[in-house]
Amino acid sequence: MSMTQHAEPAVTTPPASGPNKTDGRTSERPLALRLLARPEVGVFLGAAAVYVFFLIAAPPVRDGSSMSTILYQSSTIGIMALPVALLMIGGEFDLSSGVAVLTSALTASMLSYQLTMNVWVGVIAALVVSLAVGFFNGWMVVKTGLPSFLVTLGTFLILQGANLAVTKLVTTNVATDDISDMAGFDQAKKIFASSFDIGGVQVKITVFYWLVFAAIATWVLLRTKYGNWIFAVGGNKDSSRAVGVPVTFTKISLFMLVGLGAWFVGMHQLFTFNTVQSGEGVGQELIYIAAAVIGGCLLTGGYGSAIGPVFGAFMFGMVNQGIVFAGWNPDWFKAFLGVMLLGAVLINLWVRQSATRR
């Protein structure tokens, strides 16, 4: 019994030869695929989906003032998510960013109240403290080579404890005293916490700051030497050092940039509420990090954008307020958040694999 094989050869077309104009080894990828590989496109689609979902599910969202509230909520997260995202692209992250906001606000409030000075003295002092905390984080990470997780976890605990203890020591209370009648308060409030009237809708000033900062961050990241260095130190620290990138300067300055963001948001909180609750801020650092990750930044560094976290923060604000407007139990917020985070991480993974595929 002969076992001759009669199977016809499969389709015999030769392997497709690429265009020979260049070196012919790569073919142009479809536009849609190239667009999807951008770090901010995934989150943009996600944000749009969440927005449309709540437009349908929660009719009050369609109102202009509701949108203003959503944008305000997004901006307070978004302003901090920007430096946190840059730091993440630079290969580090900062767990102390949430309580650092409170540290800044407490410093400004207590210093100017206790010494009965112009609030601007407190504001400047808070800036110095915030930058110093950032510098300490960065310096410790660079000099010891310890993971930034450990170093900033330490800072987080130190600041959390110090916030409560020092406030109780100074004011014998967990909150600071009202500073709304002090010299310079109105001026500072105008800068950090005023609102604008746009077409009959009150829009908080932080929304503008948020968008302006995001535009500056994008420009710096993509169009300047410093931006190039951020990608480089996050992508491969040793290689960057070997070709002459100032790794120490880049990393420390990124941590200080987070300090700057914490100062700004801290001042906004202080001049919005007039007093500061010293126990707040815990857990916010994870929200900022999540907004950056949802925004397409790689937790391991070297990849991401500044626009992505804007959409990431918007998604947070949208879900947070949308649940309220839809009349649902707000407890669902965190569950939503977890789902969004996991989805974003999966998209990131896919992007990284397709971006580095041979």
Which stretches of the chain bind other proteins, using CB under 8 A?
A: 22-26, 219, 223-225, 227-228, 231-232, 235-236, 238-245, 302-303, 352, 355-358
Which 3 state secondary structure label does DSSP give 176?
A: coil
Q: Which is nearer to other proteins, 134 or 304 (CB)?
A: 304
Question: Least Å distance between CB 351 and other proteins?
Answer: 10
Question: Least Å distance between CB 50 and other proteins?
Answer: 28
Question: Least Å distance between CB 237 and other proteins?
Answer: 9
Q: Which is nearer to other proteins, 6 or 357 (CB)?
A: 357
User: CA-CA distance, 241 to 248, in Å (whole number)?
Assistant: 9
Q: Which is nearer to other proteins, 6 or 358 (CB)?
A: 358
Report long-range pairs for 186-189 (Cβ below 8 Å, ≥24 apart).
Answer: 187/120, 188/119, 188/120, 188/123, 188/267, 188/271, 189/271
Q: Which of 244, 245, 212, 211 minimizes the C-alpha distance to 231?
A: 245
User: CA-CA distance, 311 to 52, in Å (whole number)?
Assistant: 14
Q: Which is nearer to other proteins, 65 or 224 (CB)?
A: 224
Axis-axis angle for helices 148-171, 97-114 (nearest 10):
30
Q: Which is nearer to other proteins, 240 or 278 (CB)?
A: 240
Question: Least Å distance between CB 352 and other proteins?
Answer: 8
Question: Least Å distance between CB 107 and other proteins?
Answer: 29
User: CA-CA distance, 127 to 269, in Å (whole number)?
Assistant: 14
DSSP state of 313: H
